[in-house]
Amino acid sequence: MSIASDPHIDECRSIRPRVALIGLAGVTGSRHTSCAELGARFDLSPEQIVAKTGVTGLRRLGRGESLVELAGQVGAAVLERAGVPRRAVTAVFGSSNPTSEDLLPTFTAAAAHALGLADVIVDHVGIGCCGGLQALRNAWNQLTVDALDGRIGHALVIAGDHTSRILDPRRRQTGTLFGEGVSVALLTNDPAARTGYAIDRIVTRSALGEALYALRLKNPYAQPPGAELPRLEMDGARVFEFGADAARRFLALLGLPAMPEGCYLVPHQPNLRMLDALVERAGLDAARVYVDGIRTIGNTSAPAAMLGLEDALRRGLVDATGRVMLGAFGAELQVGAALLSPLDPLALVADPPLVNTRVQEAA
Question: Restricting to residues 169-208, which ones interact with other proteins according to CB under 8 A?
Answer: 204-208
340 forms part of the interface with other proteins (CB under 8 A): no
Contact 182, 67 (CB under 8 A): yes
Residue of 269, 332, 358, 362 that binds other proteins (CB under 8 A) = 332
**What span, in angstroms and rounded, lies between the C-alpha atoms of 213 and 321?**
40
153 forms part of the interface with other proteins (CB under 8 A): no
Q: Which is nearer to other proteins, 165 or 281 (CB)?
A: 165
Q: Is 60 helix (H, G, I), strand (E, B) or coil?
A: strand
105 forms part of the interface with other proteins (CB under 8 A): yes
Q: Which is nearer to other proteins, 291 or 333 (CB)?
A: 333
**What span, in angstroms and rounded, lies between the C-alpha atoms of 100 and 108?**
10
Contact 355, 77 (CB under 8 A): yes
Beta carbons within 10 angstroms of residue 292's beta carbon: 18
Sites for other proteins among residues 3-22 (CB under 8 A): 3-4, 8-9, 11-12, 15-16
Sites for other proteins among residues 270-309 (CB under 8 A): none
Residue of 65, 88, 121, 346 that binds other proteins (CB under 8 A) = 121
For residue 270, whether the previous peptide bond is cis, meaning omega lies within 30 degrees of 0, is no
Sites for other proteins among residues 207-246 (CB under 8 A): 207-210, 212-213, 215-224, 229-230
**What span, in angstroms and rounded, lies between the C-alpha atoms of 161 and 129?**
9
Q: Which is nearer to other proteins, 98 or 342 (CB)?
A: 98
Expressed in angstroms, the distance from the first to the final Cα of the chain is 37
41 forms part of the interface with other proteins (CB under 8 A): no
Q: Which is nearer to other proteins, 209 or 257 (CB)?
A: 209
**What span, in angstroms and rounded, lies between the C-alpha atoms of 320 and 215?**
36
Q: Which is nearer to other proteins, 256 or 346 (CB)?
A: 256
149 forms part of the interface with other proteins (CB under 8 A): yes
Which phi-psi region, left, alpha or beta, contains residue 179 (left: φ > 0; alpha: ψ -120 to 50)?
beta
104 forms part of the interface with other proteins (CB under 8 A): yes
Q: Which part of the chain contacts other proteins (CB under 8 A), choosing from 28-36, 56-64, 122-130, 265-273?
A: 122-130
141 forms part of the interface with other proteins (CB under 8 A): yes
C-alpha 140: how far from its chain's center?
15
Q: Which is nearer to other proteins, 52 or 281 (CB)?
A: 281
Sites for other proteins among residues 56-95 (CB under 8 A): 92
**What span, in angstroms and rounded, lies between the C-alpha atoms of 55 and 343?**
33
